Amino acid sequence: NAGVTQTPKFQVLKTGQSMTLQCAQDMNHNSMYWYRQDPGMGLRLIYYSASEGTTDKGEVPNGYNVSRLNKREFSLRLESAAPSQTSVYFCASRSGGTGANVLTFGAGSRLTVL
Amino acid sequence: SQQGEEDPQALSIQEGENATMNCSYKTSINNLQWYRQNSGRGLVHLILIRSNEREKHSGRLRVTLDTSKKSSSLLITASRAADTASYFCATDLWSNYQLIWGAGTKLIIKP
Residue-wise pLDDT tens digits, B11-55: 999 999 999 999 999 988 889 999 999 998 999 999 999 999 999
A&B contacts, CB < 8 Å:
60
**Is A103 touching B (CB cutoff 8 A)?**
yes
A14 CA to chain B: closest CA distance, Å?
Answer: 23
Whole-angstrom Cα distance, residue A33 to residue A90?
Answer: 8
Whole-angstrom Cα distance, residue A68 to residue A32?
Answer: 9
Handedness of CA A59, A3, B32, B34 (dihedral sign): negative
**CB-based contact B44 A97, cutoff 8 Å:** no
**pLDDT at residue B96, as a whole number:** 65
**Is B4 touching A (CB cutoff 8 A)?**
yes
Residue-wise pLDDT tens digits, B88-101? 999 988 766 778 89
**pLDDT at residue B5, as a whole number:** 83
CB burial readout A37-58, b (16+ within 10 A) else e? beeeebbbbbbbbbeeeebeeb
Whole-angstrom Cα distance, residue B71 to residue A61?
Answer: 29
Residue A63 has pLDDT above 90, yes or no: yes
**CB-based contact B2 A42, cutoff 8 Å:** yes
**pLDDT at residue A96, as a whole number:** 65
**pLDDT at residue B1, as a whole number:** 45
